[in-house]
Amino acid sequence: MPFLELTLPCSQVQQPRYEQALERVGALSVTLADAHADAPDEQAIFEPGVGQTPLWDDMQLTALFPDGTPRELLLHALQAADEGIDWSRAAFREVADQDWERAWMDQYVPLQFGRRTWIVPWNHDLPPGTDADDAAVVRLDPGLAFGSGTHPTTALCLQWLDALADEGVLDGSRVLDFGCGSGILALAALKLGACDAIGIDNDPQAIAATLDNAQRNGEDARLSAYLPDDAPAGAYPVVVANILASALVELADVIAARVAPGGYIALSGILAGQEGEVMARYAEAFDDLRAEQSDDWMRVTGRRR
């Protein structure tokens, strides 16, 4: 069935009042979006910390009501629900019903990184003509994944792993995915030749997503995931940490200690301009530090001294 859609601008401070009033008058759903999503300096929100629900300063709020809801009566009801809100800014339109889950999933298509690595939604096949026998395929549920390969930070790490595989570095190696999110990087390493991998993340939801994706990809026997305090000790020949630059700097000693002598490291989640501080911090323990850029994001790689 179709719906009546109401949209209006909303600030972070106002959001709880708006949402509460809309729910009081029978909104079927309330969603929030960045009001400046197309602006060059838009305020990006990536993975929140545990228990955090970050919001944009300025938002567009959208609410759905049953088809046939009288607009004037709805505005009167909203005014009665909270007289302190200027509901006259609300805009209405009719929205046709659709398979929302299918519409969401259809946004995702198989993506290739480097020569062999493919990230493929569970409901898709490899593109025609792909050498399936040589492809390293990771299948993800975009609804569960914290990282699906679409962000430049993840793409930079996948490309690095693919290149390591071409050099034979991953063959039989153990891999640590520090800040594993969906487990996408650990899974890619396994598909590219690593013998086993572990993921570490401070969010229990990320641990659950990693383990779910490991099972989906038939890698639950070779991939384990832990909260930081539960992770086993040890150093690894290959370590990838796709977190934020501030965390990379703060945790430099912890991360460096996880890389075996002569081992390889990739650091990502770094905005252009932040790479200098990261490289300076890791220069204490790593040689051959190099930075590579994709869009506004950087990846730093090196070898453990």
CB count, 10 Å around CB of 230?
9
Q: Which residue has the higher pLDDT, 96 or 131?
A: 131
Q: Assess contact for 84 and 17: CB atoms under 8 A.
A: yes
| pTM of the predicted model over 0.85 | no
Known binding residue 123? Answer is: no
Angle at 12 between CA 19 and CA 243, to 5 degrees: 115
Known binding residue 201? Answer is: yes
Known binding residue 179? Answer is: yes
d(CA 270, CA 153): 8
Q: Over the stretch 158-178, which tens digit does the pLDDT of each residue have?
A: 999 999 999 999 999 999 999
Quote the mean pLDDT of the chain: 87
Structural domains in the chain, sorted by start: 3-97 (3.30.70), 149-304 (3.40.50.150)
d(CA 113, CA 159): 5
φ and ψ of 156, to 5 deg: -60, -40
Known binding residue 242? Answer is: yes
Residues paired with 8 in a beta bridge? 61
Max mean pLDDT range (37-46, 51-60, 140-149, 265-274): 265-274
pLDDT band at residue 54, thresholds of 50, 70 and 90? Answer: very low
